């Protein structure tokens, strides 16, 4: 019996890492065990990295060490960003992941080219195309989320035709390279065209569709890593890529369902310009506006309150004021809960993280399925910076563009209060009939200021 | 078709099923940490980058490998860090069972 070779020992270390990866995700299922999941992932990653440094193929450590130091230097600030910046940080990390996968694929191509079998060329081309488009696509998404780029959809006539032609060009070049691997100079052109396609893919998508887009990019980044595992025959990459890819895919499906839209509609629909606002006659209808004082009086009289936060709360960074409201009302004996729509905010779970940051206990954060049956018994529903996800037209009006989208049934509560900057329609350009209901009170203003004023009234009137 | 491909395909399909079953059970409450954690796990491509950068085949492959090491390692460090920071914030109002 012979001892293990270095290669076998590395493989075993990778196998342990794979098992720990799966445990990490399993432990993430509940907030009580989730941090153990992070630890498990960290141990796995450390084990795999250390084992790889002992790989006999690695003969030169200088650049590796420099890169590890640079990576740590960039990673720590990216891990310490403020919670409000988490969506753009996530998009940026998809970009880095895809960049890394694309760079490795390109390096591997130039090491092997032009002696590549058609099969190997197919794998590499696919990997590099997906990696490249995910890199630029994620950068654009991060730019939109950081508001360096405009959040509104940027569209022009014939856009889908242009975008798909660019993707087509990348595919044609890939096929040509598979048939004629000697045309090595075509490879950088294929990479360039894929990079351009990534830009074209995400530019037309509006801010409100970001939860789906960021999930899709997550899934692409995962699958490009898995493909890299195929190219290099490293199973740990195949597993990590499959886990990441399926996670992104599941989240994309959840986001699409929550908007009652298909992938193609999100990617090529450019929601913002598709519809012209249907009810311009609605402008004649009246709304009841209220002051902070009146709102405070109603909230004091309530026994049950459901707060529905949306992107407006995130923009105004109102979560800490909301926490003050939560505290003061809880002390007064009001039962306060939060109803969170899957696509509220700019990425999956965005609202939960912001509210958890403001120290609101997570058992008060209810998802759509759990909170909807509670609205008919709710005294007050307080909508803070959310719009389309509360529009009853999605339930009733078959002609509405958002018809069929699952919504939070705030209109079933006894009183509805809406904090909103103005009456302007949401991203879909649709009027929200919720605002014109008899039981609805509008508080116009910035979410942080408006909630702050209510808190002041409550504190002042409390003794 | 190289034999490694079929093996990889087996691994991919099985891991995909496991991923689907495990991730389906993650509460919507934790979808943001889920995304940052899977991102950190995905940064395991750093092991491939280390080999490419350290094999010293061509100057180009060393350069691209080093860029890949830096990009993926920053995801690994930053991803675990932010996931843990987020998860530390999730507190319950119910008294802890002991």
Task: Evaluate if residue A284 carries a pLDDT over 80.
Answer: no
Sheet bearing A415-420, strands edge to edge: A288-289, A440-444, A415-420, A380-384, A304-309, A335-340, A365-367
Residue A47: inside a domain: no
Q: State whether residue B98 sits within 8 Å of chain A by CB.
A: no
Task: Evaluate if residue A322 carries a pLDDT over 50.
Answer: yes
Strand-pairing partners, residue A443, are A419
Residue A42: inside a domain: no
A260 and A307 within one domain: no
**Residue A435: DSSP 8-state:** G
- Residue-level pLDDT at A272: 41
Share of chain A above pLDDT 70, in %: 94
**Residue A276: DSSP 8-state:** -
Mean pLDDT across the stretch A188-193? 96
**A52–B50: do the CB atoms touch at under 8 Å?**
yes
Between the alpha carbon of residue A98 and those of residues A10, A101, A290, B43, the distances in Å are: 25, 5, 49, 10
A334 and A211 within one domain: no
- Exposed / middle / buried, residue A162 (Cβ in 10 Å: 0-12, 13-18, 19+): exposed
Give the tens place of pLDDT for each residue, A21-60.
999 999 999 999 999 999 999 999 999 999 999 999 999 8
Residue A451: inside a domain: yes
Task: Evaluate if residue A281 carries a pLDDT over 80.
Answer: no
Strand-pairing partners, residue A381, are A306, A416
User: pLDDT category, B98, cuts 50, 70, 90?
Assistant: very low
Average pLDDT of the residues of chain A: 89
**A235–B7: do the CB atoms touch at under 8 Å?**
yes
Give the tens place of pLDDT for each residue, A329-382.
999 999 999 999 999 988 999 999 999 999 999 999 999 999 999 999 999 999
Between the alpha carbon of residue A51 and those of residues A54, A193, A230, B91, the distances in Å are: 5, 37, 20, 36
Residue A45: inside a domain: no
Domain ranges of chain B: 29-89
- Residue-level pLDDT at A161: 87
Judge contact between A263 and A253, C-beta under 8 A: no
- Residue-level pLDDT at B80: 96
Higher-scoring residue by pLDDT: A269, B79: B79
**Could you tell me where the DSSP H helices lie in A307-378?**
311-316, 319-331, 350-357, 368-371
Q: What is the ipTM of this complex?
A: 0.94
Mean pLDDT across the stretch A60-69? 94
- Residue-level pLDDT at A277: 43
What is the CB neighbour count within 10 angstroms for residue A29?
18
End residue of a domain, out of A272, A307, A334: A272
The alpha-carbon gap from B98 to the nearest alpha carbon of chain A, in Å, equals 12
The alpha-carbon gap from A183 to the nearest alpha carbon of chain B, in Å, equals 18
Q: Which residues of A touch B18 (CB under 8 A)?
A: 22, 243
Residue holding tokens 């034999």? Answer: B3
**B28–A352: do the CB atoms touch at under 8 Å?**
yes
Interface of B with A in 31-60 (CB under 8 A): 31-58, 60
Residue of A349, A350, A370 to mutate, testing the B interface (most B Cβ within 10 Å of its Cβ): A349
Q: Is A397 a catalytic residue?
A: no
Segment (H or E) for A100? helix A86-112
Give the pair of three-digit tokens for residue A82: 């403020």
Strand-pairing partners, residue A305, are A336, A380
Task: Find the domain containing A217 and state its range.
Answer: 87-272
Residue A307: inside a domain: yes
Determine the Cα–Cα distance for residues A148 and A133; give it in Å rounded to an integer. Answer: 20
A387 and A260 within one domain: no
- Residue-level pLDDT at A108: 93
**Could you tell me where the DSSP H helices lie in B1-98?**
3-24, 31-42, 46-55, 59-89
pTM here is 0.90
Residue A367: inside a domain: yes
Residue A77: inside a domain: no
User: pLDDT category, A266, cuts 50, 70, 90?
Assistant: confident
Give the pair of three-digit tokens for residue A124: 């590499």
Q: Which residues of A touch B59 (CB under 8 A)?
A: none
- Phi/psi for A445 (5° steps) reads 150, 175
Q: Which of A41, A100, A226 sits opposite B41 (nearest CB)?
A: A41
End residue of a domain, out of A244, A272, A300: A272
**B19–A242: do the CB atoms touch at under 8 Å?**
yes
Give the pair of three-digit tokens for residue A281: 């006659």
User: pLDDT category, A5, cuts 50, 70, 90?
Assistant: confident
Give the tens place of pLDDT for each residue, A41-50.
999 999 999 9
Mean pLDDT across the stretch A82-100? 94
Out of A209, A244, A388, A431, which one is annotated catalytic? Answer: A388
**B75–A75: do the CB atoms touch at under 8 Å?**
yes
Judge contact between A207 and A344, C-beta under 8 A: no
Determine the Cα–Cα distance for residues B17 and B23; give it in Å rounded to an integer. Answer: 10
**Could you tell me where the DSSP H helices lie in B25-58?**
31-42, 46-55
Mean pLDDT across the stretch A107-135? 93
**B79–A79: do the CB atoms touch at under 8 Å?**
yes
Judge contact between A177 and A190, C-beta under 8 A: yes
Rounded to 10 deg, the angle between the B31-42 and A235-259 helix axes is 150
Number of domains observed in the structure of chain A: 2
Residue holding tokens 């999730």? Answer: B90
End residue of a domain, out of A272, A295, A310: A272
Give the pair of three-digit tokens for residue B23: 């991730």
Judge contact between A219 and A252, C-beta under 8 A: yes
Residue A5: inside a domain: no
- Residue-level pLDDT at A261: 82
Residue A31, SS3 per DSSP: coil
- Residue-level pLDDT at A2: 64
């Amino acid at each position: 019996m012979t001892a293990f070779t270095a290669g076998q020992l590395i493989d075993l270390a990778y196998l342990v890492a794979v098992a720990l990866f799966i445990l990490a995700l399993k432990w993430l299922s509940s907030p009580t065990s989730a941090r153990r999941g992070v630890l498990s992932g960290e141990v796995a990653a450390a084990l795999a990295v250390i084992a790889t440094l002992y790989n006999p193929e690695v003969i030169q450590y200088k650049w590796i060490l420099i890169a590890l130091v640079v990576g740590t230097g960039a990673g720590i600030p990216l891990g310490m960003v403020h919670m409000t910046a988490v969506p753009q940080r996530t998009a940026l990390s998809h970009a880095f992941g895809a960049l890394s996968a694309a760079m490795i694929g390109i390096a591997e191509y130039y090491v092997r080219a032009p002696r590549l079998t058609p099969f190997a060329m197919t794998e590499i081309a696919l990997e590099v195309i997906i990696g490249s488009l995910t890199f630029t696509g994620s950068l654009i998404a991060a730019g939109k989320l950081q508001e360096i780029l405009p959040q509104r959809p940027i569209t022009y006539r014939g856009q889908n035709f242009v975008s798909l032609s660019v993707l087509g060009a990348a595919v044609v070049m890939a096929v040509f390279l598979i048939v004629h691997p000697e045309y090595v100079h075509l490879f950088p052109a294929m990479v360039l065209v894929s990079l351009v396609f990534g830009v074209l893919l995400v530019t037309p998508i509006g801010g409100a569709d970001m939860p789906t887009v960021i999930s899709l990019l997550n899934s692409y980044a995962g699958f490009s890593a898995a493909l890299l595992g195929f190219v290099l025959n490293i199973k740990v990459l195949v597993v990590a890529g499959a886990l990441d890819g399926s996670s992104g895919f599941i989240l994309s499906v959840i986001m699409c369902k929550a908007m009652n839209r298909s992938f193609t509609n999100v990617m090529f629909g450019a929601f913002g310009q598709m519809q012209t606002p249907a009810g311009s006659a609605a402008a004649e209808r009246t709304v009841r506006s209220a002051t902070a004082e009146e709102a405070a009086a109603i909230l004091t009289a309530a026994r049950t309150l459901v707060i529905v936060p949306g992107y407006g709360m995130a923009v105004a960074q109102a979560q800490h004021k909301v926490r003050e409201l939560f505290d003061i009302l809880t002390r007064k004996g009001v039962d306060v809960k939060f109803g969170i729509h899957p696509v509220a905010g700019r990425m999956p779970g965005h609202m939960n993280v912001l509210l958890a940051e403001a120290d609101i206990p997570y058992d008060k954060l209810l998802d759509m399925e759990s909170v909807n049956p509670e609205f008919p018994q709710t005294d007050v529903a307080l909508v803070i910076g959310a719009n389309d996800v509360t529009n009853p037209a999605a339930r009733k009006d078959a002609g509405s563009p958002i018809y069929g989208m699952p919504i939070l049934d705030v209109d079933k509560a006894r009183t509805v209060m809406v904090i909103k900057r103005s009456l302007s329609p949401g991203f879909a350009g649709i009027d929200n009939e919720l605002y014109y209901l008899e039981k609805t009170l509008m508080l116009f203003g910035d979410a942080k200021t408006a909630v702050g004023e209510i808190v002041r009234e409550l504190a002042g009137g409390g003794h | 078709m190289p034999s490694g491909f079929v093996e990889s395909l087996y691994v991919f399909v099985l891991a995909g099923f496991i991923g689907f079953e495990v991730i389906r059970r993650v509460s919507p409450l934790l979808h943001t940490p889920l995304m940052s954690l899977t991102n950190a796990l995905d940064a395991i491509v750093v092991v491939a980058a280390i080999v490419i950068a350290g094999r010293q085949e061509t100057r180009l492959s060393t350069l691209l490998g080093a860029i890949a090491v830096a990009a993926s390692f920053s995801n690994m460090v930053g991803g675990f860090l932010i996931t843990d920071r987020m998860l530390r914030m999730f507190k319950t109002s119910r008294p802890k069972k002991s």
